Amino acid sequence: MTRLRRTTRSGFENRNGQIVAMPTSKSGTDHNQYMYILRCKHCGTVYGANGTDIWERRCPKPRSVCHAGGGRSGIGLMWERGIFSKEEFLKMVEVVNIEVGVLV
């Protein structure tokens, strides 16, 4: 559990260059998991991920676009599921002043 706590801290960067931008109060897609907003340091893509996935997460972009890519799709999927609206997400990102690249 120590590891989980560490990897969900804002600013944590995993081995694939995926950085935790901020936690959210929204549930992720896993049972009992909160969603975190991550940013890829290689291409600037911002997306949502489950807390338990952070340590091994890859950028959701295809590998042809980002060399850390090839991961599962991120927040786009959550919009489809109605967990987030796009407007809601953009507002949250504004608050922490993340530079939004391409939203996935």
Please select the residue that binds Zn ion; options are 20, 37, 38, 40, rule is CB under 5 A.
40
Nearer Cβ to Zn ion, position 87 or 99? 99
Count of residues in contact with Zn ion, rule CB under 5 A: 8
DSSP secondary structure letters along the chain:
-HHHHHHTSTT-B-TTSEEEEEEEEEE-SSTT-EEEEEEETTT--EEEEEGGGGGG---SS-TTT-TT------HHHHHHTTS--HHHHHHHHHHTT-----B-
Nearer Cβ to Zn ion, position 37 or 40? 40
Establish if 75 lies at the interface with Zn ion (CB under 5 A).
Answer: no
Please select the residue that binds Zn ion; options are 21, 59, 83, 104, rule is CB under 5 A.
59
**Contact stretch for Zn ion (CB under 5 A) within 3-11, 20-28, 64-72, 78-86:** 64-72
User: Which residue ranges make up the site for Zn ion (CB under 5 A)?
Assistant: 40, 42-43, 45, 59, 61, 66, 68
